[in-house]
Amino acid sequence: MLSDDRIISYNMTDNLLTKGIITMNFLEERIMKDGVVKEGNILKVDSFLNHQMDVKLFKQMGEEFKRRFAGKNINKIITIEASGIGIACIVAECFDVPVVFAKKSQSVNIDGDVYSAEVESFTHKCKNQVIVSKKFLNEDDHVLIIDDFLANGCALQGLISIVSEAGGTVEGIGIAIEKGFQAGGRMIRNLGYRLESLAIVDSMDAEKGTIEFREQ
């Protein structure tokens, strides 16, 4: 647990830094500028991340993940539909490797055997069976998992399970925004996986319009 002097607090409404003078990274700056905190610990970033997508921002994210996982033997990017796909594609371009996304429903376009796992969505409050064709994942794959948000970690657990079932290796996990006040990040790190989140939100207050980022 980080001490209070390593927590950066921002008032998103008034654009104020309330604890110390610490440089924000590019994603924290964008969250502060265009993000909206809503009741129920919801951070709305649909204007640039998971509905309308800022491709230049995604390129910065891809380059940062490439820097953080430099030296790792990554030959495939894996994500889950739908909002992780855009980021994962740009990350895959930076690594010059293919990207595979886990589908949330069986499709006539997927033939043959599949790997599957059940995942629960924090945002949509529902469970889905996600699948990946066995043609696109095997024991030779060294995988970087990419997603837009990390809350309770269920989606990541599902993807890790699929990679494990295929006999592949999870080389790392890259997340755009981690909700540090929820258990997902701690759980994944305790399992021994290298988890890199570009922005970690330690708390949000919809009434005050404030958000606290963890310094990294």
pLDDT (average), residues 67-92: 95
> What tokens were used for 144?
């970087």
Distance linking the first and last C-alpha atoms of the chain: 12
The per-residue pLDDT for range 104-135, each reduced to its tens digit, is: 876 656 667 999 998 876 666 678 889 999 99
Domain locations in the chain as residue ranges: 4-214
Q: How confident is the model at residue 16 (pLDDT cuts 50, 70, 90)?
A: very low
* CATH number, domain 4-214, options 3.40.50.2020, 3.40.50.150, 3.30.2130.30, 3.50.50.60: 3.40.50.2020
For residue 173, what pLDDT band results from cuts at 50, 70 and 90? very high
Q: Report pLDDT digits (tens) over 146-171.
A: 999 999 999 999 999 999 999 999 99
What number of other Cβ atoms are within 10 A of residue 23's Cβ? 8
Calculate the dihedral angle through the C-alpha atoms of 65, 143, 95, 202, rounding to the nearest 10 degrees. Answer: -10
